[in-house]
Amino acid sequence: MNESDAGLPGIHKKLVPDPRTVSSSKATEQHLLFENEEVFRTIFHNANDAIFLWEVHLGKPSILLEANGVAARSLGYNIHEMPGLKFSDISTGIPEDINSAAPQLTTDYRGTFEATHRARDGRNFPVEVSSHVFQLGEKLVALSISRDISIRKKAEQTLTGLYNREKELRQALETEIGKRIDFTRSLVHELKTPLTPLIASGEALLEILEGEVELRLAGNIYRGALNLERRINDLLDFARGEMGVLKVSRQQLQVTPLLLDLAAEISPQFDRKHQSLELVLADRIPPVMADEDRLRQILLNLLTNAAKFTPRGGQITLAAQVSGKMLRLSVSDTGRGISAAEQVNIFQPYYRVERDADPNDGMGIGLALCKMLVTLQGGEIWFNSEKGQGSIFYFTLPLANKMENVK
Ligand code: ADP
């Protein structure tokens, strides 16, 4: 007897028509029933899921009437050994539904639940069971379809594991960031505290002293202290940017007065190297959306670099002009320029061209910080340069009245 010939004990008897005892219409009916059963058996035995037909005894274990080939194979039985098995023979952790829900198992119970099948060799595997209880003749039966969900469960476990790992890493990172913020803050405090009286004293000395030499020395102290303070602030901002906590607060800003003011403030730096600073500003520059302090910080970095990398007598130009929805600012110099090989890394933090690696001068974060600050304000930064031909650094800021069009 092959698998599909296995009967459903006590329930389905093969309906074999006897042409001697039935009329022709009766014979057709019998034939249809016979065909229906064949169809049913084909589906039953060719299904991809394990199918079980249980006889349900209220308050007592259900007894297996029949199972299909998939069910038998997955549990390690021969299909003929299956009838008569109890639900507990092939399952562990029987779900509440089947047994304790007995009172509602009377008829038309439908439910889906997860259970664990136990194969004959003791191997367990998770399944999702869809069960339907109904009256079949005298018997109360449950038709259960079990789907092996080992792969899904494994994927769920892997996913949960990954999620938990990601959560742990995120928490560790947040703690680390918190520690770094605290450390950077106290470092900056430690460095800036002694600077404050130095700057104030330098400024006072410049007002009191008269002799040329004394004034020069006091000026050196004052400018040196200011320069150091600016670098410490840059370092703190850069550290904030790397931790993702650097903030800009943008508002409508008139750029022309700011540029004039900045040029006046920085011009002594250029005078000392006999460099000239030229301003090329378009008429009536509309307001931009920007953070004033951050804009000054960007420009100071670019202008300081221009002064630093341009020889005595060179020319530096600060320009601003509207370009579409943006204001485009630029700082150009007639300095030594940047070679193609060096250009690739210029916005990388801590990058300094080898020959500029004077430990007392610059940490290689100025341009990386400029990029962070420009990006945070909705602009872009780039440059053109050629070795020996000077450099021009551009950056853009959104115009205030065009803001709604700026992403
Ligand atoms: P730092 O703060 O040390 O100046 P930056 O990030 O501002 O660092 O600049 C990185 C490097 O880019 C500098 O060390 C220098 O080699 C090069 N550089 C920046 N601006 C200019 C410029 N205007 N002309 C030539 N080289 C420049």
- What's the 3-state SS for the chain? CCHHHCCECCCECCCCCCCCCCCHHHHHHHHHHHHHHHHHHHHHHHCCCEEEEEEEECCEEEEEEEECHHHHHHHCCCHHHCCCCEHHHHEECCCHHHHCCHHHHCCCCEEEEEEEEECCCCCEEEEEEEEEEEEECCEEEEEEEEEECHHHHHHHHHHHHHHHHHHHHHHHHHHHHHHHHHHHHHHHHHHHCCHHHHHHHHHHHHHHCCCHHHHHHHHHHHHHHHHHHHHHHHHHHHHHHHHCCCCCCCEEECHHHHHHHHHHHHHHHHHHCCCEEEEEECCCCCCEEECHHHHHHHHHHHHHHHHHCCCCCCEEEEEEEEECCEEEEEEEECCCCCCHHHHCCCCCCCCCCHHHCCCCCCCCCHHHHHHHHHHHCCCCEEEEECCCCCEEEEEEEEEHHHHHHCC
**Integer CA distances (angstroms), 105 to 59, 99, 101, in order:** 10, 9, 6
* Residue 260 alpha carbon to ligand 1 centre in Å: 24
pLDDT of residue 290: 97
Nearest-angstrom CA–CA distance, 356 and 308 = 10
Give the residue with greater pLDDT, 48 vs 13.
48
Indicate if the pLDDT at residue 260 is higher than 90: yes
Q: How far apart are the first and last CA of the chain?
A: 74
Nearest CA to ligand 1 atom 18: 305
Burial readout 110-122 (b: 16 or more C-beta within 10 A, e: otherwise): ebeeebebbeeee
* Residue 328 alpha carbon to ligand 1 centre in Å: 20
pLDDT band at 5 (very low <50, low <70, confident <90, very high): very low
Nearest-angstrom CA–CA distance, 250 and 313 = 37
Q: How large is the average pLDDT for residues 3-13?
A: 39
Q: Which residue type is seen at 298?
A: I
Q: How large is the average pLDDT for residues 186-212?
A: 89
Indicate if the pLDDT at residue 11 is higher than 50: no
Give the residue with greater pLDDT, 14 vs 153.
153
pLDDT of residue 27: 65
Q: Return the structure tokens found at 77.
A: 């039985």
Nearest CA to ligand 1 atom 20: 305
Ligand 1 pocket, mutate which of 235, 275, 309, 339 (most atoms under 8 A from CB): 309
Nearest-angstrom CA–CA distance, 248 and 263 = 23
pLDDT of residue 360: 47
Ligand 1 surroundings by CB, under 6 angstroms: 301, 305-306, 309, 333, 335-336, 338, 346, 351-353, 356, 362-368, 391
Nearest by Cα to 255 from 284, 298, 278, 276: 284
Residue pair 127/147 in contact by the 8 Å Cβ criterion:
yes
* Residue 198 alpha carbon to ligand 1 centre in Å: 28
Question: pTM for this one?
Answer: 0.61
Percent of the chain's residues with pLDDT above 90: 48
Q: Which long-range contacts (CB under 8 A, 24 or more apart) does 79-88 make?
A: 79/3, 79/6, 80/1, 80/6, 83/9, 86/61, 86/62, 87/54, 87/61, 87/62, 88/61
Percent of the chain's residues with pLDDT above 70: 84
Ligand 1 pocket, mutate which of 303, 342, 351, 352 (most atoms under 8 A from CB): 352
Residue pair 313/274 in contact by the 8 Å Cβ criterion:
yes
pLDDT band at 65 (very low <50, low <70, confident <90, very high): very high
* Residue 188 alpha carbon to ligand 1 centre in Å: 23
